[in-house]
A and B are shown apart, each in its own frame.
Chain A
């Protein structure tokens, strides 16, 4: 059974700081990995999708890496802003017939002005 762990559970940083969020998974036989952002009381916004054959993906100030063999992914946020404050979720797709996503519990990020 796939298990996804995210560290830290919460993180508070001053504006402008670069930061890294960590995600680990127990079964390396994944199809892809997706990072999401969730604002309080809202749905999920897809940030980055990394296919199992890829090592990293970039979108603006965000960079996600994937090391499938070691079961790890990181989300790097450059020059953080107060608007980045949200919960960041990592989800692993095991492929197969239904492309099920297994989620971590998330990292609650607070960027202080």
Chain B
């Protein structure tokens, strides 16, 4: 398995601002993923972030709104840009380890006013 930490654990932000979420893993991993969980809903994949390449975004998510960095094999950031109340969600990062089993971080709970 892997130990994954996220910062911040929660935040309350004003509309129009941006928030950068950090994800740190205790071991080197190739595949990192960012998910969104809207209130009362299940998880939806935002993008896949592999080190050394551009992030791959899912349908409905764009780089201008959710820029992602992956500078090395243990760290990634997701920025939620120009936020609106509809962006209020839990954002989770995950990593793929052995035979594609995925492990998740504790999540970042974002509230946009």
Taking beta carbons and an 8 Å cutoff, which residues of A are in contact with B? 31-32, 34, 36, 41-46, 49, 51, 89, 91, 93, 95, 98-106
Contact A43 B48 (CB under 8 A): no
Contact A43 B92 (CB under 8 A): yes
Residue of A nearest to B40 (CB): A105
The 7 closest A-B pairs by CB, nearest first: A44-B104, A43-B106, A103-B42, A98-B48, A99-B100, A105-B42, A43-B107
Contact A31 B104 (CB under 8 A): no
> Which range contains the number of B residues in contact with the other chain?
20 to 34
Q: Which of B42, B92, B101, B109 contacts A104 (CB 8 A)?
A: B42
B1: min CB distance to chain A, Å: 7
Contact A32 B105 (CB under 8 A): no
Contact A43 B104 (CB under 8 A): yes
**B-side contacts of A45, CB under 8 Å:** 104
Q: Which of A41, A42, A93 contacts B100 (CB 8 A)?
A: A93
Contact A42 B107 (CB under 8 A): yes
Q: Which of B4, B48, B94, B101 contacts A49 (CB 8 A)?
A: B101
A44 to B104 CA separation, bound complex (whole angstroms): 6
**B-side contacts of A42, CB under 8 Å:** 106-107
Residue of A nearest to B101 (CB): A49
Residue of B nearest to A102 (CB): B45
**A-side contacts of B41, CB under 8 Å:** 105
Q: Which of A51, A95, A106 contacts B42 (CB 8 A)?
A: A106
A26: min CB distance to chain B, Å: 15
**A-side contacts of B92, CB under 8 Å:** 43-44
A105 to B44 CA separation, bound complex (whole angstroms): 10
